[in-house]
Amino acid sequence: MRIRGLKPAVRHHVRRAVARLDPARYQQEPAYIAALFARLDDVVLERADAKVEFRSTVVADRGRGSAESIWGADFGLTASIREFNLELRKAVLGQAKRGSLTAPEGEAQGFRTQVIKMSRMTWATVGLEVPRAIGEIPMVRMVEATSTYGETWAAKSIVAPPDSYEQVIRPALSDEGPAVLLWTAVPLDQYLCDYLVGCAHGDRDERVVQALDSSNLTRLHIRAEKA
């Protein structure tokens, strides 16, 4: 959707959310994510002809069998979008890491495992790169687990053009699971506006959207058991 006035509204919303958010105060990624997404949860645009609202969920990560350990996600985000008589809701699951996801020290295999877990429930998955400086906009990468090897990896992707992936996390020698594609990083406000609201990304399956109403993802768990 190309909603008039959306880009400046989202840009202002994200910049206000991170303006006083100092990553140095949060030693663990989940703490930063909790603070960030609490600030993002809001109606960002509302007029007679259009309304856009973001709702965030920080996934429970405590105890054995936590939602984070099962589904691999740190957070979920839904966008409720209305333009004239057209309404839709979209969801995305994400995992956060400090610094660049393409850095060698980025625990690539651990991140790959988490993406694979998330992809069991939805194709709409992202990695969020936690910044290092106060007020800095986090970067987002669309990520995708794929069992299609060779040069056809990107060509078969459902989220981005063939030439826009930046890195492949291949399975370790002892692992026969899928590889994971990491797409070019974009600022969080650009991702929200151009991809999540802009219809290029985000899962419209109402089961996934409803599951993010709970930090335990209990509805997602129930749906998976019935599948």
Contacts of 141 (CB under 8 A, 6+ apart): 101, 126, 127, 128, 129, 166, 182, 183, 184, 185, 186
The arithmetic mean of pLDDT across residues 201-215, rounded, is: 84
Give how many domains the chain has, as a whole number. Answer: 1
- Does residue 1 lie in a domain region? no
Has residue 213 got a pLDDT over 80? Answer: no
Q: Whole domain around residue 204: which residue ranges?
A: 6-226
> Is residue 206 situated within a structural domain?
yes
Cα–Cα distance for residue pair 71/118, rounded to 1 Å: 5
In a domain, 142, yes or no: yes
pLDDT band at 210 (very low <50, low <70, confident <90, very high): confident
pLDDT, tens digit, 9 for 90 and up, residues 104-115: 655 888 899 899
- Residues 132-146 have pLDDT tens digits of 899 999 999 999 888
Q: What is the rounded average pLDDT for all residues in the chain? A: 82
Q: What is the pLDDT of residues 3-42, one digit of tens each?
A: 889 999 999 999 999 998 998 888 778 889 889 999 999 9
pLDDT in tens, 150-166: 445 555 555 555 556 78
Query: Rounded to an integer, what distance in angstroms lies between the CA atom of residue 106 and that of residue 119?
Result: 20
Confirm whether 185 is domain-assigned.
yes
The answer as to whether 54 is a domain residue is yes
Structure token pair of residue 206? 């109402």
Question: What's the pLDDT band for 176 if we cut at 50, 70, 90?
Answer: confident
Does residue 30 sit within a domain? Answer: yes
For residue 187, pLDDT beyond 50: yes
Residue 50 lies in a domain: yes
